[in-house]
Amino acid sequence: MIARRRFPGSPASLDALCRRFGIDNSNRTLHGALLDSEILAEVYLELTGGRQPDFAIRPHRVRMATRRERCQAKPNGDARPRKTPLAPRITEEERAAHSAFVAELGDGAIWSRFD
């Protein structure tokens, strides 16, 4: 999905992306999960701009959405709130154990605000 978005109309197979980024995949004669995952990790770094030859800070080649833009983006599909909320899956015993644990953390613990 990242490759298709970044290079629309170009092939997005693992072999095609290896050719594009100059990643050696000559050992990939058969499909093996370990080798494929190692190659995919290298491709992912190239796609996301994570590979950098030195410590110089550079802007990404592709403009990434800001946090605000991601939060304001409309979800895919029809995401609507439930008419009736789901019943809690936690038992009273688990709830009491959690409350006791949070109480041990003290008043300064962030979790005490949500209990």
Count how many residues are written for the chain.
Answer: 115
**Rounded distance between C-alpha atoms, residue 47 and residue 23, angstroms:** 12
Cα distances from 59 to residues 49, 50, 62, 69, 73, in angstroms, run 9, 11, 8, 18, 23
Please give the angle made by the CA atoms of 49, 25 and 42, to the nearest 5 degrees: 20
What residues are labeled active site? 31
Cβ of 88: how many Cβ atoms within 10 Å? 9
